[in-house]
Amino acid sequence: MILFSASAAPYLAFVFSICFPTPTFSARTGASLVAKPVIAIVPAAWHAPIHYAGYADQLQHAGYDTVTQRLPSTGSSDPNVQSVAADADFIRKNMLMPSIDAGREVVLVMHSYSGGPGSMAAKGLSVPERRAAGRPGGILGLIYICAFVAKKGQSLLDGSGGKFAPWVIEHVSAFIAPSPTFPSCKGADKITKCRRTAN
């Protein structure tokens, strides 16, 4: 499912223009005094940057730099080595720190699953925390779109009543979803298992 349709993208760009207005310019030099924040778009599970292309295009047209990358857990050939923590580390190192280290402010947009690793990646990077440490840049805001938000110390399982949905097959180190289109169902044995579960 593509969350952002072409008709929704202009609305979202408008929301950003109100929340993060056009930079002010120096009358003397013409230089921007305040740059617009970078918008980091973290895809949902089983989503790729292409699913957010219309949204990113509208934001770029409105003057925002955007960054989005596929999470390591998406389409992994070995889901047993993937984790929320690994995705959080990837988000921090590849989607946040390059802009923050360059002194830029970032708005982190998280869709669905990415609310978990995105929140973990953002820890300690807020603009006030960075300023208190004498560092420029930082995360200006967090936007959760149909996303998971857990309280500190709480897992998503805790937040969903303590048990998984009936279609989730729990294994020691991985979960298998009941569709061969899901990334954890690659390989003949897993596809067969997923198809059996779906019936």
Q: If you compute the radius of gyration of the chain from its CA atoms, what whole number of angstroms results? A: 19
Position 12 scores a pLDDT of 57
Q: In this predicted structure, what is the pLDDT of residue 29?
A: 52
Q: Is the pLDDT of residue 4 over 50?
A: no
Domains and CATH numbers, the chain: 8-155 (3.40.50.1820), 164-199 (no CATH)
Condensed to tens digits (0 to 9), the pLDDT of residues 55-97 reads 999 999 999 999 999 999 988 887 777 888 999 999 999 999 9
pTM of the model: 0.70
Mean pLDDT of 103-125: 95
pLDDT at 9: 54
> With pLDDT > 70 as the criterion, what percentage of the chain qualifies?
67
Percent of the chain whose predicted confidence (pLDDT) is above 90? 47
Q: For residue 176, which phi and psi values (nearest 5 degrees)?
A: -115, 125
- pLDDT, tens only, 152-165: 777 777 777 888 77
Q: Are 16 and 64 in contact (CB under 8 A)?
A: yes
The CA distances from residue 178 to 17, 82, 83, 161, 167, in Å, are 41, 19, 19, 21, 6
What confidence tier does 33 reach under pLDDT thresholds 50, 70, 90?
A: low
pLDDT of residue 141: 94
Please give the pLDDT value at position 155.
75
d(CA 184, CA 104): 36
